[in-house]
Amino acid sequence: MDKLTHTIRDSRWKEIISQCQNRPAGMSAKQWIVENQISEKSYYYRLRKFRKEAYEHMNNPQDVLPVAKAKSEVSFTEIRIPEQKRPITDIMHETIKPTAIIKTATMTIALSNDISDGLLSIILREVSHA
């Protein structure tokens, strides 16, 4: 068999092993293998093969990525954030210059000229019931 065929088979077996290892809680590997019609001998052969490859890869210093050398200079870049609508919490902390202020024993309401007639009517109705 050529290298491509081996690569494809290995990829498929890695997927099968991953699915078995992510099987539902309480289900044994043997049950999962039987339900998915996989040869138990082939499964454990491939599992052992991949574990051995991973172990060899882990212990081979040539395969390990080199440690990045620390840079001595610091650089910054500007990241532009697209303008978005401000959330209500930002508006609440914004300082406004009120045209009128309504005070009761329990609350203070500051009104500006930008308020609609309908909203002003609702606020006054609610304040009168407070």
Taking the mean position of all CA atoms in its chain, how far away is CA 92? 29
Mean pLDDT of 23-52: 92
Going by the DSSP 8-state scheme, the letter that residue 61 receives in this structure is T
**CA 1, CA 10: separation in Å to the nearest integer?**
13
Domains in the chain: boundaries: 3-59, 88-129
Express each pLDDT in 67-101 by its tens digit: 666 666 767 777 777 776 655 555 555 666 778 88
**CA 24, CA 40: separation in Å to the nearest integer?**
18
| C-alpha pair distances (Å), 97 with each of 17, 32, 92, 106, 114 | 67, 69, 13, 21, 11
Higher model confidence: residue 75 or residue 2? Answer: 2
